[in-house]
C-alpha cells in the first residue's frame, strides 16, 4: 500500500486547501483595546452558501487515532468552509486532497495551529493524536445536504510521525 509522507503544516503548503489559523499567518496585525490586546486579523474567512445556511460554532471532542493509519475515504462540504482550532496542546493530522484521483497530502499541525478548509475541499475526518482532544469548529448549519463522502480507489498509509 502506498504511504503518505507527513509534511509540516505551513501557510504556503496548505494554501491550495485553506488557511492556517496562527498568529504568524496574519496579514494584518492591529493593536486594540487601548493597547491591551493584539488582533491577528481575519486569519480565515467563514464561507457559507445556500439559501438556508448560516455559520455556527460547535465543539468537537475527538478520540486519538493510532499510527500506522490507513486513509480509505475522504469527505467534502460543498456548501461551506470548515475551521478547526485545537483547544489543547496535542498535535493532530490533516489529510487533504485536490481531487479524489490524486495523492492526498498529510500535514502535521503543531499545538496552536488551527486550519480552515475552503468550501468543497476533500479532507479526511478529524485525526487527533496522543489523547482525547477538543476543537472549536466553525462551519455551516442548515437543512441542505452538505457532506459528500467517497471511498478511495486506492488506500494510503500514514506510517509514523
* Chain residues that interact with its own copies, rule: CB under 8 A: 21-23, 26, 32-34, 36-46, 48, 54-63, 65, 83, 85, 87, 112, 114, 116, 125-126, 128, 134, 136-138, 141
The nearest distance, CB 126 to its own copies, in angstroms, is: 6
The nearest distance, CB 77 to its own copies, in angstroms, is: 13
The nearest distance, CB 83 to its own copies, in angstroms, is: 6
Backbone φ, ψ for residue 117 (5° rounding)? -75, 130
Which uninterrupted H or E stretch holds 92? strand 92-97
The nearest distance, CB 116 to its own copies, in angstroms, is: 7
116 versus 146: smaller Cβ distance to its own copies: 116
63 versus 102: smaller Cβ distance to its own copies: 63
Counting every residue written for the chain, the total comes to 161
For 29, the grid coordinates are 496585525
Q: Which residues contact 27 (CB under 8 A, 6 or more apart)?
A: 41, 42
6 versus 21: smaller Cβ distance to its own copies: 21
* Contact present, 127 and 107 (Cβ < 8 Å): no
Rounded to an integer, what distance in angstroms lies between the CA atom of residue 129 and that of residue 106?
Answer: 13
Alpha helix segments (H runs only) across 51-113: none
46 versus 108: smaller Cβ distance to its own copies: 46
Amino acid at each position: 500500500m502506498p504511504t503518505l509522507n507527513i509534511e509540516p503544516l505551513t501557510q504556503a503548503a496548505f494554501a491550495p486547501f485553506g488557511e492556517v489559523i496562527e498568529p504568524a499567518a496574519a496579514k494584518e496585525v492591529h493593536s486594540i483595546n487601548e493597547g491591551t490586546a493584539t488582533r491577528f486579523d481575519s486569519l480565515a474567512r467563514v464561507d457559507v452558501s445556500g439559501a438556508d445556511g448560516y455559520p455556527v460554532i460547535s465543539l468537537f471532542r475527538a478520540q486519538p487515532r493510532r499510527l500506522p493509519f490507513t486513509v480509505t475515504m475522504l469527505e467534502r462540504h460543498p456548501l461551506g468552509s470548515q475551521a478547526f482550532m485545537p483547544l489543547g496542546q496535542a498535535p493532530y493530522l490533516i489529510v487533504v486532497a485536490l481531487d479524489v484521483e490524486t495523492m492526498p497530502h498529510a500535514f502535521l499541525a503543531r499545538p496552536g495551529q488551527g486550519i480552515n478548509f475552503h468550501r468543497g475541499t476533500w479532507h479526511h475526518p478529524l485525526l487527533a493524536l496522543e489523547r482525547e482532544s477538543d476543537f472549536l469548529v466553525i462551519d455551516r448549519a442548515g437543512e441542505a445536504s452538505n457532506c459528500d463522502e467517497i471511498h478511495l480507489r486506492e488506500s494510503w498509509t500514514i506510517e509514523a510521525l
